[in-house]
Amino acid sequence: MKTLQKEILKPERPENDDCCGGGGCCPCVWDTYFNALDLWEEQEAKQKTLADKKGCSTDKEEAD
């Protein structure tokens, strides 16, 4: 049985002033952002691989 996974949206980059710069926040807004960005990039790579296997082009490729 296939499990449905929710699509991960590309995370929005924090503003430079969103971080206190003091290094005391755990997790830092940048830690959260980069973790989410890693997950999104993995998802994009998997989708591209699946599209390549099916011989299809992705919407992004068609737009380029």
Q: What is the pLDDT of residues 21-49, one digit of tens each?
A: 877 888 899 999 999 999 999 999 999 99
pTM exceeds 0.75: no
What is the DSSP code string of 20-54? Answer: -SSS--SS-HHHHHHHHHHHHHHHHHHHHHHHHHH
Contacts of 28 (CB under 8 A, 6+ apart): 19
Please name which of 44, 43, 37, 38 lies closest in space to residue 61, comparing C-alpha atoms: 44
Q: What is the pLDDT of residues 8-24, one digit of tens each?
A: 999 999 998 888 887 78
Q: How far apart are CA 45 and CA 26, in angstroms?
A: 29
